[in-house]
Protein backbone atom coordinates (compact mmCIF):
# COMPACT_ATOMS: atom_id res chain seq x y z
CA UNK A 1 0.00 0.00 0.00
CA UNK A 2 2.86 2.33 0.89
CA UNK A 3 4.45 2.02 -2.57
CA UNK A 4 1.12 2.48 -4.33
CA UNK A 5 0.40 5.69 -2.39
CA UNK A 6 3.84 7.04 -3.24
CA UNK A 7 3.58 6.20 -6.95
CA UNK A 8 0.08 7.69 -7.19
CA UNK A 9 1.26 10.86 -5.46
CA UNK A 10 4.29 11.13 -7.73
CA UNK A 11 2.16 10.51 -10.82
CA UNK A 12 -0.29 13.17 -9.65
CA UNK A 13 2.58 15.63 -9.31
CA UNK A 14 3.79 14.83 -12.84
CA UNK A 15 0.26 15.25 -14.23
CA UNK A 16 0.03 18.57 -12.38
CA UNK A 17 3.24 19.69 -14.09
CA UNK A 18 1.60 18.96 -17.45
CA UNK A 19 -1.38 21.04 -16.36
CA UNK A 20 1.01 23.72 -15.08
CA UNK A 21 2.21 24.24 -18.65
CA UNK A 22 -1.31 25.07 -19.79
CA UNK A 23 -1.71 27.43 -16.82
CA UNK A 24 1.64 29.22 -17.35
CA UNK A 25 2.68 28.42 -13.79
CA UNK A 26 6.07 30.06 -14.35
CA UNK A 27 4.29 33.39 -13.92
CA UNK A 28 3.81 32.49 -10.25
CA UNK A 29 7.40 31.39 -9.60
CA UNK A 30 9.84 33.82 -8.02
CA UNK A 31 12.69 33.80 -10.54
CA UNK A 32 10.84 32.81 -13.71
CA UNK A 33 8.15 35.48 -13.33
CA UNK A 34 10.79 38.15 -14.03
CA UNK A 35 11.61 36.70 -17.46
CA UNK A 36 9.73 37.19 -20.73
CA UNK A 37 7.08 34.47 -21.17
CA UNK A 38 8.84 32.81 -24.11
CA UNK A 39 12.08 32.37 -22.12
CA UNK A 40 10.35 31.47 -18.83
CA UNK A 41 8.26 28.79 -20.54
CA UNK A 42 11.33 27.08 -22.02
CA UNK A 43 13.21 27.36 -18.72
CA UNK A 44 10.21 25.91 -16.85
CA UNK A 45 10.18 22.86 -19.12
CA UNK A 46 13.93 22.35 -19.23
CA UNK A 47 14.44 22.59 -15.46
CA UNK A 48 12.01 19.68 -15.07
CA UNK A 49 14.32 17.30 -16.96
CA UNK A 50 17.09 17.11 -14.33
CA UNK A 51 14.56 17.59 -11.53
CA UNK A 52 12.40 14.62 -12.53
CA UNK A 53 15.46 12.49 -13.40
CA UNK A 54 16.92 13.22 -9.96
CA UNK A 55 13.68 12.46 -8.19
CA UNK A 56 13.29 9.18 -10.07
CA UNK A 57 16.86 8.22 -9.24
CA UNK A 58 16.56 9.10 -5.55
CA UNK A 59 13.09 7.65 -4.94
CA UNK A 60 14.12 4.35 -6.54
CA UNK A 61 17.67 4.28 -5.17
CA UNK A 62 19.22 0.92 -4.32
CA UNK A 63 20.07 2.14 -0.82
CA UNK A 64 16.92 1.72 1.29
CA UNK A 65 17.65 4.78 3.46
CA UNK A 66 18.08 7.06 0.42
CA UNK A 67 14.93 5.67 -1.16
CA UNK A 68 12.93 6.02 2.06
CA UNK A 69 13.98 9.58 2.92
CA UNK A 70 13.65 10.87 -0.63
CA UNK A 71 10.12 9.45 -0.81
CA UNK A 72 9.30 11.09 2.50
CA UNK A 73 10.66 14.39 1.13
CA UNK A 74 8.53 14.10 -2.03
CA UNK A 75 5.45 13.31 0.07
CA UNK A 76 6.14 16.31 2.30
CA UNK A 77 6.54 18.44 -0.82
CA UNK A 78 3.13 17.26 -2.08
CA UNK A 79 1.51 18.46 1.14
CA UNK A 80 3.41 21.77 1.18
CA UNK A 81 2.76 22.26 -2.55
CA UNK A 82 -0.99 21.96 -1.98
CA UNK A 83 -0.72 24.56 0.79
CA UNK A 84 1.23 26.92 -1.46
CA UNK A 85 -1.41 26.63 -4.15
CA UNK A 86 -4.13 27.34 -1.59
CA UNK A 87 -2.24 30.46 -0.55
CA UNK A 88 -1.88 31.65 -4.16
CA UNK A 89 -5.56 31.13 -5.08
CA UNK A 90 -6.32 34.85 -4.82
CA UNK A 91 -3.48 36.01 -7.04
CA UNK A 92 -4.53 37.64 -10.31
CA UNK A 93 -2.06 35.33 -12.10
CA UNK A 94 -3.49 32.14 -10.58
CA UNK A 95 -5.46 30.11 -13.12
CA UNK A 96 -5.67 26.64 -11.53
CA UNK A 97 -9.45 26.91 -11.21
CA UNK A 98 -10.66 23.80 -13.03
CA UNK A 99 -11.71 20.63 -11.26
CA UNK A 100 -8.80 18.85 -12.97
CA UNK A 101 -6.27 21.38 -11.66
CA UNK A 102 -7.65 21.35 -8.14
CA UNK A 103 -7.94 17.56 -8.17
CA UNK A 104 -4.30 17.14 -9.16
CA UNK A 105 -3.03 19.69 -6.66
CA UNK A 106 -5.10 18.73 -3.63
CA UNK A 107 -5.31 15.06 -4.56
CA UNK A 108 -1.52 15.00 -4.60
CA UNK A 109 -1.50 16.64 -1.18
CA UNK A 110 -3.88 14.03 0.22
CA UNK A 111 -1.84 11.20 -1.31
CA UNK A 112 1.35 12.68 0.17
CA UNK A 113 -0.28 12.91 3.58
CA UNK A 114 -1.60 9.34 3.37
CA UNK A 115 1.85 8.11 2.39
CA UNK A 116 3.41 9.91 5.36
CA UNK A 117 0.82 8.40 7.69
CA UNK A 118 1.48 4.86 6.41
CA UNK A 119 5.24 5.36 6.82
CA UNK A 120 4.73 6.69 10.34
CA UNK A 121 2.43 3.81 11.32
CA UNK A 122 4.77 1.21 9.81
CA UNK A 123 7.73 2.77 11.64
CA UNK A 124 5.90 2.67 14.96
CA UNK A 125 4.97 -0.98 14.45
CA UNK A 126 8.57 -1.86 13.59
CA UNK A 127 9.82 0.00 16.66
CA UNK A 128 7.29 -1.80 18.87
CA UNK A 129 8.35 -5.19 17.50
CA UNK A 130 12.04 -4.42 18.04
CA UNK A 131 11.31 -3.21 21.56
CA UNK A 132 9.35 -6.38 22.37
CA UNK A 133 12.11 -8.60 21.00
CA UNK A 134 14.76 -6.96 23.17
CA UNK A 135 12.79 -7.50 26.40
Say if pTM beats, i.e. exceeds, 0.95: no
- CA angle 72/73/79 to nearest 5° reads 90
Rounded CA-CA distance 6/115 in Å is: 6
Residues in contact with 14: Cβ distance below 8 Å, sequence separation at least 6, in sequence order = 52
Provide the residue-wise pLDDT of the chain in tens; the chain has 135 residues: 999 999 999 999 999 999 999 999 999 998 999 999 999 999 999 999 999 999 999 999 999 999 999 999 999 999 999 999 999 999 999 999 999 999 999 999 999 999 999 999 998 887 776 677 666
Amino acid sequence: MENLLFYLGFATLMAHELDAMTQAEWRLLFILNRLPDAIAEVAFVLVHIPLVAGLLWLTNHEAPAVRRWSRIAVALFLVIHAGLHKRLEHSALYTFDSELSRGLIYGGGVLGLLYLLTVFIASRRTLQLVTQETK
